Protein backbone atom coordinates (compact mmCIF):
# COMPACT_ATOMS: atom_id res chain seq x y z
CA UNK A 1 0.00 0.00 0.00
CA UNK A 2 2.83 2.37 0.77
CA UNK A 3 4.19 1.76 -2.73
CA UNK A 4 0.79 2.51 -4.31
CA UNK A 5 0.54 5.75 -2.34
CA UNK A 6 4.12 6.72 -3.20
CA UNK A 7 3.27 6.21 -6.86
CA UNK A 8 0.17 8.41 -6.49
CA UNK A 9 1.91 11.12 -4.45
CA UNK A 10 3.00 13.34 -7.40
CA UNK A 11 -0.59 13.54 -8.65
CA UNK A 12 -1.86 14.30 -5.13
CA UNK A 13 0.80 16.98 -4.56
CA UNK A 14 0.10 18.63 -7.92
CA UNK A 15 -3.58 18.96 -7.01
CA UNK A 16 -2.94 19.74 -3.31
CA UNK A 17 -4.92 16.67 -2.25
CA UNK A 18 -4.16 15.28 1.21
CA UNK A 19 -3.45 11.56 0.74
CA UNK A 20 -3.38 9.48 3.93
CA UNK A 21 -2.86 5.83 4.86
CA UNK A 22 -4.12 4.05 7.95
CA UNK A 23 -2.45 0.62 8.03
CA UNK A 24 -0.21 -1.43 10.29
CA UNK A 25 3.53 -1.46 9.57
CA UNK A 26 3.23 -5.08 8.48
CA UNK A 27 0.21 -7.14 7.51
CA UNK A 28 1.20 -10.61 6.32
CA UNK A 29 -1.36 -12.05 3.93
CA UNK A 30 -1.24 -14.63 1.18
CA UNK A 31 -3.04 -13.32 -1.90
CA UNK A 32 -2.66 -12.53 -5.58
CA UNK A 33 -0.29 -9.56 -5.27
CA UNK A 34 -0.71 -8.30 -8.84
CA UNK A 35 -4.51 -8.36 -8.57
CA UNK A 36 -4.44 -6.61 -5.18
CA UNK A 37 -2.05 -3.94 -6.47
CA UNK A 38 -4.34 -3.38 -9.46
CA UNK A 39 -7.32 -2.91 -7.12
CA UNK A 40 -5.43 -0.44 -4.92
CA UNK A 41 -3.96 1.49 -7.85
CA UNK A 42 -7.29 1.87 -9.66
CA UNK A 43 -9.23 2.94 -6.55
CA UNK A 44 -6.57 5.48 -5.51
CA UNK A 45 -6.23 6.81 -9.06
CA UNK A 46 -10.02 7.25 -9.36
CA UNK A 47 -10.21 9.04 -6.01
CA UNK A 48 -7.45 11.43 -7.04
CA UNK A 49 -9.05 12.10 -10.44
CA UNK A 50 -12.47 12.99 -9.04
CA UNK A 51 -11.53 14.72 -5.79
CA UNK A 52 -11.37 18.48 -6.29
CA UNK A 53 -8.21 20.53 -5.82
CA UNK A 54 -7.44 20.77 -2.09
CA UNK A 55 -9.55 17.74 -1.14
CA UNK A 56 -8.77 14.60 0.86
CA UNK A 57 -8.30 10.92 0.02
CA UNK A 58 -7.96 8.39 2.84
CA UNK A 59 -6.81 4.81 2.34
CA UNK A 60 -7.13 2.19 5.07
CA UNK A 61 -5.93 -1.41 5.13
CA UNK A 62 -6.52 -3.90 7.92
CA UNK A 63 -7.16 -7.52 8.63
CA UNK A 64 -10.43 -8.53 10.26
CA UNK A 65 -10.47 -12.19 11.12
CA UNK A 66 -10.00 -14.13 7.90
CA UNK A 67 -10.50 -11.13 5.59
CA UNK A 68 -8.38 -8.30 4.29
CA UNK A 69 -10.25 -4.98 4.32
CA UNK A 70 -9.27 -2.11 2.02
CA UNK A 71 -11.10 1.20 1.89
CA UNK A 72 -10.51 4.26 -0.27
CA UNK A 73 -12.63 7.27 0.65
CA UNK A 74 -12.67 10.85 -0.57
CA UNK A 75 -14.53 14.08 0.06
CA UNK A 76 -15.21 14.83 -3.60
CA UNK A 77 -18.54 15.19 -5.41
CA UNK A 78 -19.59 11.58 -4.77
CA UNK A 79 -21.59 9.24 -6.98
CA UNK A 80 -25.40 9.40 -7.06
CA UNK A 81 -27.00 6.25 -5.59
CA UNK A 82 -28.72 5.62 -8.94
CA UNK A 83 -25.27 5.12 -10.52
CA UNK A 84 -23.68 2.91 -7.84
CA UNK A 85 -24.00 -0.34 -9.79
CA UNK A 86 -23.34 1.20 -13.21
CA UNK A 87 -19.91 2.56 -12.23
CA UNK A 88 -18.58 -1.02 -12.35
CA UNK A 89 -19.60 -1.42 -16.02
CA UNK A 90 -16.84 -1.23 -18.62
CA UNK A 91 -16.53 2.20 -20.24
CA UNK A 92 -19.24 3.74 -18.04
CA UNK A 93 -18.43 7.27 -16.93
CA UNK A 94 -20.93 9.31 -14.97
CA UNK A 95 -22.03 12.70 -16.21
CA UNK A 96 -21.11 16.08 -14.84
CA UNK A 97 -17.34 15.89 -14.29
CA UNK A 98 -14.23 16.98 -16.11
CA UNK A 99 -11.93 14.12 -15.06
CA UNK A 100 -10.27 12.20 -17.86
CA UNK A 101 -10.32 8.42 -18.12
CA UNK A 102 -11.59 5.46 -20.09
CA UNK A 103 -14.21 4.17 -17.69
CA UNK A 104 -12.34 0.89 -17.15
CA UNK A 105 -10.80 1.37 -13.68
CA UNK A 106 -13.77 0.27 -11.58
CA UNK A 107 -14.61 -2.58 -13.97
CA UNK A 108 -11.03 -3.83 -13.46
CA UNK A 109 -11.43 -3.46 -9.69
CA UNK A 110 -14.66 -5.47 -9.65
CA UNK A 111 -13.21 -8.27 -11.80
CA UNK A 112 -10.04 -8.52 -9.69
CA UNK A 113 -12.02 -8.55 -6.44
CA UNK A 114 -14.39 -11.24 -7.74
CA UNK A 115 -11.46 -13.34 -9.01
CA UNK A 116 -10.06 -13.24 -5.47
CA UNK A 117 -13.42 -14.33 -4.03
CA UNK A 118 -14.10 -10.95 -2.46
CA UNK A 119 -16.66 -8.17 -2.55
CA UNK A 120 -16.53 -4.46 -3.34
CA UNK A 121 -19.15 -2.03 -2.08
CA UNK A 122 -19.79 1.67 -2.51
CA UNK A 123 -20.62 3.84 0.46
CA UNK A 124 -20.21 7.27 1.93
CA UNK A 125 -16.89 9.06 1.73
CA UNK A 126 -15.10 11.24 4.24
CA UNK A 127 -17.13 13.34 6.69
CA UNK A 128 -20.38 12.33 5.00
CA UNK A 129 -19.22 13.65 1.60
CA UNK A 130 -17.76 12.07 -1.49
CA UNK A 131 -17.61 8.35 -2.02
CA UNK A 132 -16.00 5.35 -0.41
CA UNK A 133 -15.06 2.01 -1.93
CA UNK A 134 -14.85 -0.87 0.51
CA UNK A 135 -13.13 -4.09 -0.54
CA UNK A 136 -13.22 -7.32 1.46
CA UNK A 137 -11.03 -10.23 0.36
CA UNK A 138 -11.06 -13.62 2.11
CA UNK A 139 -7.63 -14.90 3.13
CA UNK A 140 -6.54 -18.53 3.13
CA UNK A 141 -6.42 -20.13 6.59
CA UNK A 142 -2.64 -20.40 6.44
CA UNK A 143 -2.13 -16.65 5.84
Closest CA to 5 of 17, 107, 67, 114: 17
pLDDT in tens, 7-45: 999 999 999 999 999 999 888 888 899 999 999 999 999
pLDDT in tens, 95-143: 545 454 545 678 889 999 999 999 999 999 999 999 999 999 999 865 4
Average pLDDT of the segment spanning 49-70:
95
pTM over 0.85: yes
CA angle at 94 for the pair 9 and 46, rounded to the nearest 5° = 15
pLDDT category at 91 given cuts 50, 70, 90 is low
Amino acid sequence: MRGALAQAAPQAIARQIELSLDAPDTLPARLDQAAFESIAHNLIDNALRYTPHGGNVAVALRREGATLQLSVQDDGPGIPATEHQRVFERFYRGAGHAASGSGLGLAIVRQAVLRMGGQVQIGVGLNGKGVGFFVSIPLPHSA
